[in-house]
Chains A and B, each alone.
Chain A
Amino acid sequence: MAYTTLVPLRWGDMDAYGHINNAVFISYLEQARVNAFHSTPDDSSGADLLNEGVVVVEHTIRYRRQLPYSNVPLRVVCWTDQIKSATYTTAYRLWNDAGAEPELVATAKTLLAPVNFATGRPRRLTAQERTFLARFGPEESAD
């Protein structure tokens, strides 16, 4: 099942154009992943994976609308898009709920890899981690 979380905007996220700066979206994606991994009280696999080390390999972001600063938090829906032996992909849809109708402001994907920070080497995902990642998604209406 896809995971939904609310990320409050900060005034400093806005740039001179008066909208949320494109680079800040990466932080929103990060926060959604962290919140998702801490959302499972029955299973600490995600929190353990974060503590041990996961690095970003690639981000893909499509900016569809400007996101003005407001006091309405951004709604991020995310899910596991693909699991491979030593990488996985998280996909996201970012919604602005400040208007009368929800507006899809961005879609994104992140390729991530677990690493062993002691050796600095990437490693394979364990069976338990794969099961954990598979809990999230995909979103029913994902395109």
Chain B
Amino acid sequence: MMQDEPSAVSQERDVPVGETYVYEVQLRWSDEDRMGHLNNTRYLTFAEDARTRWFAMAPRDEGDQAGFILARMEVDYLQQVRTADNDWLKVVNTVLGVGRSSLRIQQEIQRMDGEVVNRVIATQVHFDYDRDSSVPWTDTQRAWLERFATVKPDATDPVAAGTT
């Protein structure tokens, strides 16, 4: 990076309305429980699979050993899903805020026609598993993650403001 470039960590970042990462899930017969609908724990599995595929595409500097670790999840169950009616669902992923070493994302689980059945808000941390500690995002990673931001970071949000 050239020395006279402005700092990447400015207070007011102009984040464009971003891209989404869409992950499609094939439901399994075993995802259904005794109630005849998709079991509540499965949504977390689908969200995990979506994150795994999504973050596998994140840029990584040479020698960077850090990965992603989950710090928090909020889950809203909005509709039940009967697996006989829905062989596939999709997880629509966007970024809500990028902190110093953390990331807040929204993962909307939708029927293939777009109806939202579940909403996951998750906080991920850029994490070195060997050293057992968080690692700040690189500028490249930050820029990549912010491509998926749909809203301007909220300055009152501690994650978005970069204080966590």
Interface residues of A (CB under 8 A from B): 7-8, 10-12, 27, 30-31, 34, 71
Contact = CB atoms under 8 A, between A and B. Distances in A.
B26 interface: yes
B53 interface: yes
Contact of A27 (B26, B30, B45): B30
A71 B25 CA distance: 12
Interface residues of B, number: 11
A12 B51 CA distance: 12
Interface string B24-40: 01101110000000000
Contacts, number: 23
A11 B56 CA distance: 12
Nearest to A8: B26
Interface of B is mostly: helix
A11 B53 CA distance: 9
Nearest to A26: B30
Across chains A and B, which 8 residue pairs bring their CB atoms closest together, nearest first? A34-B29, A11-B52, A8-B26, A31-B28, A10-B49, A11-B49, A27-B30, A12-B45
A128 B104 CA distance: 54
B154 interface: no
B139 interface: no
A31 B45 contact: no
Nearest to A73: B26
11 contacts: A7-B26, A8-B26, A11-B48, A12-B45, A12-B49, A27-B28, A30-B28, A30-B30, A31-B29, A71-B53, A71-B56
Contacts of A27: 28, 30
A52 B28 CA distance: 19
A125 B84 CA distance: 24
A30 B29 contact: yes
A138 B13 CA distance: 62
Nearest to A10: B49
B28 A12 contact: no
A86 to B, nearest CB: 23
Most chain B CB within 10 A, of A7, A11, A12, A30, is at: A11
Nearest to A28: B28
B58 to A, nearest CB: 15
A98 to B, nearest CB: 14
